[in-house]
Amino acid sequence: MHPTLTNRQQTAAKFFLLALFVIVIDQLSKWAVHTYMQPGMAGEIRLMGDWAKLHYTLNPGMAFGAELPAPYGKLVLSGFRLLAVFGLSYYIIRLCKQRAAAGYIACMALILGGAVGNLIDSVFYGIIYDNAPFGSPTRWFYGQVIDMLYVDIYEGFLPQNWPLLGGKYVSLWPIFNIADSSIFIGVAVILLNQSRFFKQEEPAPRSASSPSPFSEEEKGE
């Protein structure tokens, strides 16, 4: 699939401004949480009962707390994020030159803003907030991402009659940040609007001079 093209020329600057807006909001929220909240349950703030809360926690790795092997896994992750940022930036400029749909480019800008937001944490927070994990080779590129949006979806035992998972204890309570939310929204909107953002490949029309799959003898039978 290829992006749907339009007749309107897009300016890359406005999409980079959208990404910058996400970065600023994300970094301000992390600064406020670090400055005014206590880590863990002691500083937890309820927004919607037990379902949605503000909860200051540190994420040393990827989404959902996944980590690459120490001691250099974090450095590899930070390097990958840096490459992804350059790749997304180049892709947005290319989409603008190709006159791709503005909605699709805006989604890519949301993903870029989220990627940069978490990259800043990884690169600088070990120095700024001194939150690099104990034993890190250096504080640069080993900063931990600040998460604070806590959604308590479900915690308990699943019904016994459920296939495979029945009777097992599950805990679904993702903790994320503005940058993660921006990435999720960008990806979700793209998936929900594939028919608008991408043109479907159409089969090439068959030439009138193309030979018939049947021979003359078969036609006469």
Mean pLDDT of 107-123: 96
| Residue 146 DSSP SS3 | strand
Residue 142: partners with Cβ closer than 8 Å, 6 or more residues away: 74, 75, 78, 122, 126, 132, 133, 136
Report domain extents, the chain.
2-46+60-148+177-199
Query: Which residue bears the tokens 């401004």?
Result: 17
Tell which wins on pLDDT, 11 or 67. 11
Taking the CA atoms of 88, 187, 75 and 149 in sequence, report the sign of the dihedral they define: positive
User: What is the rounded distance in angstroms from the CA atom of residue 48 to the CA atom of residue 55?
Assistant: 13
| pLDDT for 64 | 45
- Please give the positions annotated as active site: 147, 180
**pLDDT (tens digit, 9 = 90+) per residue, 136-153?**
888 888 899 999 999 988
For the chain, helix, strand, coil in percent to 5 are 50, 15, 35
Maximum average pLDDT range among 73-77, 154-158, 192-196: 192-196
> Rounded CA gap, 92 and 130, in Å?
34
Least confident of 3-7, 39-43, 83-87: 3-7
Does 204 have pLDDT greater than 70? Answer: no
Contact 55, 152 (CB under 8 A): no
pLDDT band at 207 (very low <50, low <70, confident <90, very high): low
Asked whether 179 and 113 are in contact (CB, 8 A), the reply is yes
- Residue-wise pLDDT for 55-89, tens only, equals 999 987 654 445 555 566 777 888 888 999 999 99
**Phi and psi for 88 in degrees, rounded to 5?**
-65, -40
H runs (alpha helix) in the chain: 12-36, 73-98, 102-128, 178-192, 194-197, 216-220
